[in-house]
Structure 1
Amino acid sequence: MKITKISGQVRNTSAAAEFFESVLGLAVKKVPGAAVVRIGKTLLDLTKNPEAQGDHHFAITIPSNKFAEAKQWLQQRTMLLATVDADEFECSSAWNARSLYFSGPDRSVLELIIRRDLDNATPGPFSSDDLLCISEVGVASADVLGLTKSLDEAASVPPYGAGPVGSFSPVGDPDGLLILVSPGRAWFPTTESLATTSPITVEATGHRPGIFPLGGGSRLQILQPS
């Protein structure tokens, strides 16, 4: 599943635009009450809602050969999020991936991730051009297991890795994942950035075309490849 566009709400679009532009060096189109960010092959379309609830989580895929360079690049621009033990994280063997986390705008938790199963190495020093796409979108659901099952059956979007674990269920593939969690769950590695059911639309290609409700006004729209 390749995620082509994400539409969501933030409390302050000006601050969000400033972050993506000045910190990550990305192209941002700004209009009153909205900001559209180009992150590699993904468009992130943010609209202003001062009453928006919850905090977003997005993971950005980077070239699999540039983890150390990406960490150095990111540390020059912002602080990494860490636990008491580490500031970089090896995922389970089923994921074959490694991540860095940092605070984004509007209390969001952002992630840079290498996915070793993808053939996406690039030459040269790391730059914002190596932010290849958004490959994870956090979605809060009151029925994580039920939504996992319905996406598998209706959209052919299967559980990923080890599958559902309690209130956490990734679905999709290395190119693109929805991270389904229960409302109120904190986005790792924080304890204060919380997932809340709020409208978000994810457009993607791959799997079975159609519009699939995610609850809370959210939806997954799988398009035919162009």
Structure 2
Amino acid sequence: MHINEIALFAPNLDQAAAFYSGGLGLPIESRTNTEIQFSVGESILTFVRDTTDTVTTSYHYAINIPENQFQEGKAWLRQRVPLIPDPNGFDEFFFENWNAHACYFYDPFGNIGELIARHTTHTATNAPFSSHSLLSISEIGIPVEDVLAFVVTAGKTWGLRPYLNRSSEDFTAIGDHDGLLITVKRGRLWYPNGQVAADQLPARVILEDAKGSMQTITRWG
């Protein structure tokens, strides 16, 4: 599965531009009065201006980086934004089942971003790490009322299956290492510090499903 675009709501597009372009160095693909788009490798990160002032943002997304450059990516990120530690003070994490290293950060709106080096991918490089090393958006958080029901829907509708055939009632990653729908029960606290609760928020996800078809998802569970 490949995530082509995620579109999240934000209260201020100038803040988004300052952080994502000015801070992280992401190229601006386009900007209007209502939305701004950034290039993240092979994906697009879009922020839509919240004109209602009612969206309390708590989105989660992850960006793939070269599998051999986790420490370089972490150092690059830490120069630009504080990293989020877990309750024990650790700010880098190894997921044994996924064979991946990750670190986390907040954007100006309280969303949790993640850089993840998946060692199961063939993405090693010797190039110096920069914003051009960000490969693609590989995860988007999907809070739902019924995780297992959404798993069934994803299988029937898009041909997507739980990653590594693992699923539970409060957390299931759907897809593969190129693109995952991180499906969690609404209210579950996001990793790594357990301070942000997952909530159902307006969003748009454009992805290429297991059948090679383009799908636009705007509602889930």
Q: TM-score, normalised by structure 1?
A: 0.88
The 3 A distance-change label for structure 1 pair 132 and 59 is same
> What is the alpha-carbon distance in structure 1 between the residues aligned to residue 37 and residue 157 of structure 2?
30
> What is the alpha-carbon distance in structure 2 between the residues aligned to residue 65 and residue 210 of structure 1?
30
Q: CA offset at residue 52 of structure 1?
A: 1.4
> What is the alpha-carbon distance in structure 1 between the residues aligned to residue 76 and residue 201 of structure 2?
32
Amino acid in structure 2 at the alignment position of 1:52: V
> What is the alpha-carbon distance in structure 2 between the residues aligned to residue 212 and residue 203 of structure 1?
4
Q: CA offset at residue 153 of structure 1?
A: 2.5
> What is the alpha-carbon distance in structure 1 between the residues aligned to residue 154 and residue 169 of structure 2?
17
Q: 1:176-207: per-residue Cα shift (whole Å, max 9, x none)?
A: 00001122222111333222112222111241
Q: How many pairs align?
A: 215
> What is the alpha-carbon distance in structure 2 between the residues aligned to residue 109 and residue 21 of structure 1?
17
Map of 1:90 onto structure 2: 94
Q: After superposing the two structures, state which structure 1 stretch, 65-74 or 162-171, moved more.
A: 162-171
The 3 A distance-change label for structure 1 pair 166 and 85 is farther
Paired residue secondary structure (1:14) = helix
Q: After superposing the two structures, state which structure 1 stretch, 136-145 or 161-170, moved more.
A: 161-170
Q: CA offset at residue 162 of structure 1?
A: 5.4
Map of 1:224 onto structure 2: none
- 1:171 aligned onto 2:179: no
Q: CA offset at residue 30 of structure 1?
A: 2.9
- 1:10 aligned onto 2:10: yes
Q: Is the 8 A contact 2:205 2:216 kept in 1?
A: no
Q: Is the 8 A contact 2:158 2:209 kept in 1?
A: no
- 1:27 aligned onto 2:1: no
Q: TM-score, normalised by structure 2?
A: 0.90
Q: CA offset at residue 212 of structure 1?
A: 7.2
Gaps of 5+ in 1: 220-226
- 1:114 aligned onto 2:98: no
Q: CA offset at residue 8 of structure 1?
A: 2.3
Q: Is the 8 A contact 1:11 1:51 kept in 2?
A: no
> What is the alpha-carbon distance in structure 2 between the residues aligned to residue 53 and residue 158 of structure 1?
30
Q: CA offset at residue 51 of structure 1?
A: 1.4
> What is the alpha-carbon distance in structure 2 between the residues aligned to residue 211 and residue 64 of structure 1?
28
Map of 1:141 onto structure 2: 144
Q: After superposing the two structures, state which structure 1 stretch, 165-174 or 29-38, moved more.
A: 29-38
> What is the alpha-carbon distance in structure 2 between the residues aligned to residue 199 and residue 21 of structure 1?
23
The 3 A distance-change label for structure 1 pair 218 and 8 is farther
Q: After superposing the two structures, state which structure 1 stretch, 196-205 or 159-168, moved more.
A: 159-168
Gaps of 5+ in 2: none
Q: 1:148-198: per-residue Cα shift (whole Å, max 9, x none)?
A: 112122211000135223311110000000001122222111333222112
Q: Is the 8 A contact 1:144 1:182 kept in 2?
A: yes
Map of 2:58 onto structure 1: 55
> What is the alpha-carbon distance in structure 2 between the residues aligned to residue 151 and residue 145 of structure 1?
10
Q: After superposing the two structures, state which structure 1 stretch, 37-46 or 22-31, moved more.
A: 22-31
Q: 1:38-74: per-residue Cα shift (whole Å, max 9, x none)?
A: 1111011211112113411110000011111111111
> What is the alpha-carbon distance in structure 1 between the residues aligned to residue 193 and residue 62 of structure 2?
15
Amino acid in structure 1 at the alignment position of 2:20: F
Q: Is the 8 A contact 1:141 1:180 kept in 2?
A: yes
Q: 1:2-53: per-residue Cα shift (whole Å, max 9, x none)?
A: 1111122122222122110122111123322311111111011211112113
The 3 A distance-change label for structure 1 pair 53 and 47 is same
How do 1:142-157 residues align onto structure 2 when only pairs under 5 Å count?
Answer: 142-157=145-160
Amino acid in structure 1 at the alignment position of 2:23: V
